[in-house]
Amino acid sequence: MSNLKNSIFSGLAFGLFMGIFFAISDGIYYAIFIGPLSGLFFGLAIYFFITSKTIKQQTEITNLDGQAIVYAGSANHFKNGEAVGGKLYLLPNRLQFKSHSFNIQNHELTIALEEIKEVKFYYTMGLIPNGLEIVNKIGNCEKFVVNNRKIWKEKIEINSKC
């Protein structure tokens, strides 16, 4: 359900920006019709992308070692300035991110829960409340964009005892 909500929000934002662009460049007629239409198509494209079987297969982790997944969800991991799309998993002993292949910097990242010092929130682009920052015991930080960041924080803190 959060994928649909996020797709609708993305489509509305894209449609608004396109409406403003078309109003400036081509007139109000385009802003009224083409802006919302482009937002609808963008939102649908995003929804079908993130719910596709290909993305699901590429972001699936296989090294579970018999452990159950505590919590999982779509996420972006910031690596060298790129918001790398993929999926974040919380297991009883680690946090694991796996990207999909539609990124420039494909990678996997594993953080042992015993190494986590602090879980903090931040605002993406300074205004969107969806950032999760993981600080390890030596002070290194990993930043993620997630849905339900309060749930992520609570579950990580319960499992890691940080």
How far is it, in rounded angstroms, from Cα 117 to Cα 20? 44
On whether the CB atoms of residues 15 and 32 are closer than 8 A, the answer is no
Q: pLDDT confidence of 78, banded at 50, 70, 90?
A: very high
How far is it, in rounded angstroms, from Cα 134 to Cα 162? 11
This prediction's pTM: 0.81
Mean pLDDT across the stretch 71-77?
A: 94
Mean pLDDT across the stretch 29-41?
A: 85
What's residue 162's pLDDT? 57
What's residue 65's pLDDT? 80
Mean pLDDT across the stretch 121-137?
A: 93
- 7 against 102, higher pLDDT: 102
Indicate if the pLDDT at residue 137 is higher than 90: yes
Please give the domain boundaries of the chain with CATH numbers for all domains.
2-51 (no CATH), 63-160 (2.30.29.30)
DSSP state letters, 83-114: EEEEEEEEETTEEEEEE-TTSSS--EEEEEGG
Indicate if the pLDDT at residue 119 is higher than 70: yes
Q: pLDDT confidence of 6, banded at 50, 70, 90?
A: confident
Indicate if the pLDDT at residue 142 is higher than 70: yes
On whether the CB atoms of residues 112 and 93 are closer than 8 A, the answer is yes
DSSP state letters, 147-160: SSHHHHHHHHHHHH
Residue 133, C-beta contacts closer than 8 angstroms, at least 6 positions apart: 119, 120, 121, 122, 141, 142, 143, 144
